[in-house]
Structure 1
Amino acid sequence: MNQYIQPSTTTASSRIYDILRKDLVNGRFAAGEKLAINALKELYQVGLSPLREALNKLAAYGLLIQENQRGFRVPTLSRSELDDIVKTRLALESMAFEQAISLGDAAWEANLLAAEHRLKCADMTLDNDDEWERLHTQFHRTLVASCGSIWSLRFIEQLHDQFDRYRRLGPKMPVIRQELDQQHHELVALALKRDVKAARKLLDEHILKSYEAALTCFAQHG
């Protein structure tokens, strides 16, 4: 049995969407690469209908480009796009964090502490890097979870996926990761203190430090 798709047809489209989304963000396919439908069917062991449904959803989400019914292509990467993504994150994510701090209740505080603890305890070895990435994503989702805006949360998640296409290009950078992990701890402390001004300032610094890492990875592949 192929490792990707189980034999159920009712959720095949959802599964292939999730798997392809992860593979696109992780750089399994090269930027600008045209995806061959038959090759994808074979790789993921999925039927044509659920595959096309997933590809169409990924194109609407921005992780694929649909070329006038001729197929699908992985978007290219550019410095101008990376800059635009980061500027938008700085505006939208920081605003949502402010709102989350203002609106967050005790349950949000507990979830935030738990997300930070899981991330801190995550094994940082290469074999478990996928797990760290999953917990890192969950941590950032939790930071803004109580912002009160479903649309903000949707756009922030989309921006994170687009940003991670750049950030995950290169090898791990342990020193930068340690600095970012320390900022994760400080972000939680400031959120629990309800120090909105300091929390937003630190989140901006956190996003910009991640941007520096992503820019380095992008330059190495430019």
Structure 2
Amino acid sequence: MINSQPAEVAASGETAASQVFSALKQDLIRGRFAAGEKLAISALKERYEVGLSPLREALNRLAAYGLLEQHNQRGFRVPPLSAEELEDISRLRMQLECMALTQAFQEGDAEWESQLLAASHRLSRANKAQGEIEQWEQAHQRFHRTLLAPCGSHWLLRFIEQLHDQFDRYRRLAPGNPEIRDRLDAQHGELVELALDRRIHDARYLLEDHIRQSWEVAKGACEQG
């Protein structure tokens, strides 16, 4: 459910569309729907307690965002998993995030450093045990957003966030890999140290490796699919 009130009472059409867009977007990233699954409009209306018009608006937005595929006269499907697509997403992440990181190191101030330390602390304390994974996911997302926040380009950050969402759909469907997970966790702290010292070349290399290691984990979603 996206709220505790009937959709017609809770919000205007525009607000209801935004609410269901956010809720369905998160469910798609979390793997609540199977890759290739056709979404039934009637079931979605019941699940998210929303009318047809805002639901269709949200579905169209998600198709434009790349988290759904729209088929003429045949509704919407969850995109299939593709190793080639994942590779493309990962390589673009490396390029765009390293670009943003360079700009963030140049523009970041003491307030950014403080926020980055706080985000790193919350991430290190997040509980990844079963049932608490969403807490870790939120802290992880906040850390990476904070790391790149001062880059100064709204569009660059917007593209990066879209790539993260596409990438996370694969990562969250993949089997766990504790050995790589431990390395990735350690790299978060190392990125903070490099940011405080403004060691951009070392930080870019580390961020590329961080994305590459995550890619190794995410590929498991294609292998088991």
Superposition map of 1:10-25 within 5 A: 10=12, 11-25=15-29
Taking structure 1 as the reference length, what is the TM-score of the superposition? 0.95
Which 10-residue stretch deviates more, 64-73 or 108-117? 64-73
Partner of 1:106: 110
**Cα drift, residue 170 of structure 1:** 2.6
Partner of 1:120: 124
Taking structure 2 as the reference length, what is the TM-score of the superposition? 0.93
**Cα drift, residue 68 of structure 1:** 2.1
Is the 2:175–2:217 Cα contact (8 Å) retained in structure 1?
Answer: no
CA distance in 1, matches of 2:113, 2:176: 30
Partner of 1:9: 11
CA distance in 2, matches of 1:21, 1:92: 22
What does the per-residue CA deviation read over 1:57-108, in whole Å, with 9 as the maximum and x for residues that have no partner? 1111111111125311111111110110011011111111111011111111
Partner of 1:176: 180
CA distance in 2, matches of 1:215, 1:33: 20
Q: Secondary structure at the match of 1:166?
A: helix
Partner of 1:137: 141
Partner of 1:29: 33
- The equivalent position to 2:42 in structure 1, one of 38, 45, 48, is 38
What does the per-residue CA deviation read over 1:20-66, in whole Å, with 9 as the maximum and x for residues that have no partner? 00110111111111111111001111111211111111111111111
Is the 1:104–1:146 Cα contact (8 Å) retained in structure 2?
Answer: yes
- AA in 2 matched with 1:44: Y
- AA in 1 matched with 2:166: Q
Partner of 1:213: 217
Count of aligned positions: 219
Gaps of 5+ in 1: none
Partner of 1:65: 69
- AA in 2 matched with 1:106: A
Q: Secondary structure at the match of 2:24?
A: helix
What does the per-residue CA deviation read over 1:114-164, in whole Å, with 9 as the maximum and x for residues that have no partner? 111100010121110011111111111111111111111000000001111
Partner of 1:150: 154
Is the 1:5–1:16 Cα contact (8 Å) retained in structure 2?
Answer: no
Q: Which ranges of 4 or more aligned residues in structure 1 deviate by more than 6 Å? A: none
Is the 1:5–1:46 Cα contact (8 Å) retained in structure 2?
Answer: no
**Cα drift, residue 111 of structure 1:** 1.1
**Cα drift, residue 5 of structure 1:** 2.6
CA distance in 2, matches of 1:56, 1:9: 19
CA distance in 1, matches of 2:114, 2:57: 37
Is the 1:24–1:165 Cα contact (8 Å) retained in structure 2?
Answer: yes
- AA in 2 matched with 1:67: H
Is the 2:175–2:220 Cα contact (8 Å) retained in structure 1?
Answer: no
- AA in 1 matched with 2:108: G
**Cα drift, residue 175 of structure 1:** 2.6
**Cα drift, residue 174 of structure 1:** 2.7
Partner of 1:86: 90
Q: Secondary structure at the match of 2:2?
A: coil
Which 10-residue stretch deviates more, 65-74 or 15-24? 65-74
Partner of 1:97: 101
